[in-house]
Structure 1
């Protein structure tokens, strides 16, 4: 089968449930079908008592470049109410991971951008390779964060910088600012994640569930879920907003393909890159 037919792969080994985003030709872009399949996989593993820890990762040396921009343009979403419906599904996946009653680990290699960065941040822990890149560049093509988790992970100042510039950061910087837990080589990624998951899995499942639930409720008491819900409403309006640069970007996607559109976007910001 092609990667399009196996868009999300799952396996369970020694109490660890692995969920792999599998669209390598599209750098594991989160098309609507991928979001739905990944959501189903998370929910199924949450219910499976043979699984004590859930790991999310990506195929072929990348986590994911985020939501499938070409698919969104092809869908022709224009009204805020249309965007709200589509974005609700995206938020649903990230929040299913965040609120999962079992510990979750993001195993990140390569690109981890936009909605995929949000998905990784929804995990309880992140182990990344030294070639991983993180960021939410949505503002550069007329969009914005869908699941507003970064303020709760990084705090105000670094979140403002990253979300208002669309800059990306490398793994060492991500470690320094508290986005991830550990940096390893690509060859060490699976072994390191497995050892961490095995250590967590030594705790009885009922204790893991109650501890995770307590931690989720603590963040919800700080306003995380309300912030996510409010942002969803604003994101629907933001994505429907009109701007010349956004219109040009979308027209390039339609007529010349996503790569040309991204080149146009990057050229505008290239002169200002450190």
Structure 2
């Protein structure tokens, strides 16, 4: 990468990173992320023009997308575009319309609220990172424990910066996204940074019935935590114990162990492509 090294405000820049999110381009979290990357990379921001939380991998196919170049918090060296679409749309627009060359990395965040366990299947933050992986670009999703206090990002820059400085971008496989969750604690309270798996059972869904203004029932999705089975040392457990968690998530969801078992079923024809 030395041949691609450029100078930006007298700082050595080795990578080009696309930054996006699901909370919208005006959100505080994405500003915190870009500040955390200052001096580490050439940053291009491509993010939704409004909040697009919990949109999962949704893409826009029945209407056109619009983009607008915007000022990003007065940071003149950061080019930024607002997109009238979802987080996944933003990555598509960055790669197919805005950029002239493939970036080295896509980072999505910093999300207001953690994305642990099965959250990764609903999260717009994680979906943007997954979209990059679909394009064979390494990606990172970053979330912070402030769901109920979206404007309080505490000391997130102090907590995140050492991780961003240490990550070897080109060591991340192109078919993997790294899901990072950061607890709402002070720097001196942090017990460390760990690599963990996903805890898919740390909460249950509950539908709460509430009448609307006319008395017609509406159903609102809520969560129950309580005494729920969790797997020790996975992301939920480690966040609760004041660790930052990093979880590698592979884009290929195929269960290859079970695939071998399925091949023994009588109805299954042996794959001719495996025959020599």
The answer to which structure has the higher strand fraction is 2
What TM-score comes out, normalization by structure 2 length? 0.30
More relative contact order, 1 or 2 (CA 8 Å, 6+ apart): 1
Which protein shows a greater Rg?
A: 2
